[in-house]
Amino acid sequence: MAKTPTVKSAPAADLPPEISVVVPVFDEEGAAPDLAREIARAFDGRRYEMIFVDDHSRDGTVAALKALEPELPALRVLKHRKNSGQSRAIRSGILAARGAVIVTLDGDGQNDPADGPQLVDALLAGPAELALVGGERVKRQDSQAKKLASRFGNGVRKRLLHDTANDTGCGLKAFRREAFLRLPYFDHIHRYIPALMLREGYRVDFRPVNHRHRQTGQSKYTNLGRLWASLSDLLGVMWLQSRARDPGGADEV
């Protein structure tokens, strides 16, 4: 009797990534290389890619990242032709991503990449309607003024939008790419992803994550600038919620 031929599975390098780690960066020459190495260590053994999206930096961020490509084969670098903001950089990375699961984290190194896999595992272990598992920063390493402003903003947003999120400013999130692409896009959407996921009928969940001191560079946001943008964004998302209609699903007949 002839033996059944053995079918060898394709090596992991030949398979598309399951996870795409998307990192927006702007003038982060000091932080980006070490962050890329940390991501590689955190996701070692998984089918992943990391996509750094440079939002038209004025320093050597792109050159520093490109120099890492021989060392980090999972690294991809995108560069905006003009500065367009954090949310647009995240969206550019997601549009270019090949993984069905997206992990986002800030490019300043304050989010800990080691927490990324646990968010992915929680997402994949949940039901199909669970579309996002977001991080909530514990022992936040920011100035007292920034923490107070964030606490106030999160409280107002949570009360008005009912998005169940205590910390939408945390850049570390894991979510399904398909679900994100169903959301209406606007600038600063990254702070409203939980509310918009709920609007589409998905479920969201949250997990505590580490937060670290910024080692290089400086914050691109001010409390006043965030407040002004948040007011108009909040009104816009409330309007989107008021105009949503849930069909309860669709069945082919």
Residue-level pLDDT at 242:
93
- Tell me: the pLDDT tens digits for 187-199? 999 999 999 999 9
Res 7: pLDDT: 33
**Chain-centroid distance, C-alpha 2:** 52
Dihedral angle sign, alpha carbons of residues 162, 164, 166, 169: negative
Contact of 79 with 54, CB cutoff 8 Å: yes
- pTM for the model stands at 0.86
Q: Count Cβ atoms below 10 Å from residue 140 Cβ, excluding itself.
A: 18
Instruction: With CA atoms as reference, report the closest residue to 184 among 86, 51, 91.
Output: 91
Residue 76, pLDDT > 90, answer yes
CB 190 within 8 A of CB 172: no
Binned at pLDDT 50, 70 and 90, residue 75 comes out as very high
Residue 18: name the closest of 87, 79, 74 by CA.
74
Residues with Cβ within 8 Å of residue 40, at least 6 apart in sequence:
50, 72, 74, 75
Yes or no: say if 215 and 109 are a contact pair by the CB < 8 Å rule.
yes
Residue 247 vs residues 71, 83, 170, 192, 253: alpha-carbon distances, Å: 49, 38, 31, 22, 15
Is the confidence at residue 70, as pLDDT, over 50?
yes
The token pair at 73 is 């084969």
Measure the CA–CA gap between 75 and 59, rounded to whole angstroms. Answer: 20
- Does 142 score more than 70 pLDDT? no
Which residues are registered as beta bridge partners of 63? Answer: none
Q: Under 8 Å CB-to-CB from 241, ≥6 apart: which residues?
A: 161, 195, 199
pLDDT of amino acid 6: 37
* Average of per-residue pLDDT values in the chain: 89
The confidence band for 13, taking pLDDT boundaries of 50, 70 and 90, is low
Phi, psi of 173 (to 5 degrees): -145, 150
- pLDDT over 70 (residue 160): yes
More confident residue, 152 or 170: 170
DSSP 8-class letter at 175: E
Which has the minimum average pLDDT: 42-51, 199-208, 239-248? Answer: 239-248
All structural domains of the chain? 15-242 (3.90.550.10)
pLDDT at 124 over 60: yes
- Contact criterion met (CB below 8 Å) for 116 and 225: no
- Give me the mean pLDDT over the 217-244 stretch: 76
Q: How confident is the model at residue 245 (pLDDT cuts 50, 70, 90)?
A: confident
pLDDT of residue 28: 96
CA distance 221 to 231: 15
Tokens of 35: 């962050």
- CA–CA separation, 115 vs 201, rounded Å? 26
127 pLDDT tier (thresholds 50, 70, 90): very high
